[in-house]
Amino acid sequence: MRYCTFRLGDETAPGRVEGGEVIRLQAPTLIDVLTAPANSQPPAGQRYPLDQVTLLAPIPVPPSIRDFFAFEQHVATARRNRGSEVPKEWYEFPVFYFTNPAAVYGPDDDIRYPEGTSELDYELEIAAVIGKDEEIAGFMVMNDFSARDIQRKEMRVGLGPAKGKDFATSFGPVLVTPDEFDGTSAVMTARVNGEERSRGNLADMHYSWRQILDRASSNTQLRPGDVIGSGTVGSGSILEHNDGRWLTRGDVVELEIEGLGTLRNRIA
């Protein structure tokens, strides 16, 4: 299934996308839909043409966002551009950082250009959303916007990233359940103003989703609605290109993952 959270007028509701329509689901939020027992799914309500509603991030305010570092090519290229190598510890277990659940954007939202940076970057990722029993309820496209110059200074101190990624993470356009998208293989592309800038494949993840979930839940509990990012696919950021073509005001960034759709945002 393909789930969404949408706005119609002043009202926000969870929905199911079928063709060119959104079917409203009678539940408070999409998290309630994902955690409902199999034998008591929320009833379907009114149908709306997709072009008459505004799609929001599928999980607009997740309890937490953990972003992992699961693609070796991204790690190796970014390190090589800084004159270093992948640390041996990266191969021992998947590593993540927490980012800001209060700075979530959805498809077609404008992203305010953050203050204090001149190196604004996109990051082409896939995200899993936790449902019942600490398992994956679905997948969506993720853009982990990054201020590289701020991030670079923070990480020299030995902590972070923090403010370098504190201002915007976008998700969408829909959440696709594992029976339709199993999270193992998909072409991933990024375009800026219509120009393809990145291309990779989900199959290149060094760690499996099972390994990632086991690490995320170690010594704690995953909650419904928690978002788990894959990290950036190889070539999936301007940082890796090392060409200085950072995002500027007015740029339109489109991240597309085969089977999940296209997440589009404009830098405002």
pTM of the predicted model, to two decimals?
0.96
Q: Which residue matches tokens 């270093």?
A: 84
Least confident of 2-6, 135-139, 150-154, 159-163: 159-163
Do residues 162 and 220 both lie within one domain?
A: yes
Does 264 score more than 90 pLDDT?
Answer: yes
Least confident of 11-20, 35-44, 178-187: 35-44
Residue 184 binned pLDDT confidence (cut-offs 50, 70, 90): very high
pLDDT tens for 85-132 read: 889 999 999 999 999 999 999 999 999 999 999 999 999 999 999 999
Q: Are 34 and 150 in contact (CB under 8 A)?
A: no
Residue 218 binned pLDDT confidence (cut-offs 50, 70, 90): very high
Residue 78 binned pLDDT confidence (cut-offs 50, 70, 90): confident
Do residues 246 and 134 both lie within one domain?
A: yes
Sheet strands (E) in the chain: 2-8, 11-18, 21-25, 44-49, 54-56, 65-68, 96-99, 104-105, 110-111, 120-121, 124-130, 136-144, 146-147, 169-176, 187-192, 195-201, 227-229, 252-257, 261-267
Do residues 130 and 217 both lie within one domain?
A: yes
Q: CB within 8 A of 79, min separation 6: which ones?
A: 85, 86
Please give the residue range of the domain that contains residue 241. Answer: 65-267
Q: Are 22 and 30 in contact (CB under 8 A)?
A: no
What's the chain's length in residues?
268
Angstrom distance (rounded) from CA 125 to CA 144:
7
The pLDDT, as a whole number, for residue 143 is 98
Does 154 score more than 80 pLDDT?
Answer: yes
The pLDDT, as a whole number, for residue 149 is 96
Number of domains in the chain: 2
Do residues 43 and 125 both lie within one domain?
A: no
| Residue closest to 123 by CA, chosen among 17, 229, 259 | 229
Angstrom distance (rounded) from CA 192 to CA 115:
21
End-of-domain residue from the set 39, 56, 73: 56
Do residues 35 and 85 both lie within one domain?
A: no
